[in-house]
Amino acid sequence: MARIEPRTFTLEDGTQLLIRTGEEDDAQVMLAYLDDLDGTTDHTVTMPDERDIDEPKERAWLRERLDNPGELALLALIDGQLVGELDVRCAANRRVIRHHAMLGISVRDGWRGRGIGSALMITLIDWAADHPFIEQLRLGVFADNHGALRLYEALGFVREGVRVRAFRRDSGDYVDDILMYRDVKDRQGVALPAT
């Protein structure tokens, strides 16, 4: 099962942040979090009217993260409030590609730029470095998401390519998708430090 030991981080302002594995019982909280993200970010690929999700589907999604060894859902909480989420997935049943995992991350409006994304990413990097077959993390990021790009580069992610005009917003504007990766182990399988 894909789980972590809960971790506590202290943000720069002294706020205590808890990072833990998402559980099935978090489904309602996750749905409320997703509703809150709608309208507070332009950096999502699923629009609110496209989301086909309810509590049973969210519970199943969380259960899948728990049941599959190459998947993980991390929640960031402050005083019980969900302020960030990260999920990662690899094709654990496909030996040729299971050494890399793709991640997605979000932070609630009002909490961005305060270290929550860093804490989620460091927790993920540590988990992946200890993972039996994951060697590399991959992500895609909107080219105009400058804060996220700074975070990923600070944590050792390298730009490997661009998907030109990958995203088309309702306004008609196009945004490129910056593809990035970070090795968590060297080619001999030795874990690399998170920072």
Q: What angle do CA 100, 182, 186 make, to 5 degrees?
A: 80
- pLDDT of the chain, 195 residues: tens digit per residue: 589 999 999 999 999 999 999 999 999 999 999 988 877 888 888 777 778 899 999 999 999 999 998 999 999 999 999 999 999 999 878 888 889 999 999 999 999 999 999 999 999 999 999 999 999 999 999 999 999 999 999 999 999 999 999 999 999 999 999 999 999 998 777 888 776
Q: Model's pTM, two decimal places? A: 0.94
Q: State residue 50's pLDDT score.
A: 79
- What is the CATH T-level fold of the domain 7-135, as seen in this structure? Aminopeptidase (3.40.630)
Per-domain boundaries in the chain: 7-135
Which among 9, 15, 5 is positioned nearest to 110, based on CA atoms?
Answer: 15
Which among 175, 4, 18, 170 is positioned nearest to 87, based on CA atoms?
Answer: 4
* SS3 at position 167: strand
Sheet containing 100-107, strands listed edge to edge, beginning at the edge strand earlier in sequence? 7-10, 16-21, 71-78, 81-89, 100-107, 136-142, 174-183, 158-168
* SS3 at position 65: helix
Tens of pLDDT, residues 113-137: 999 999 999 999 999 999 999 999 9
Q: What is the DSSP code (8-state) at residue 185?
A: B
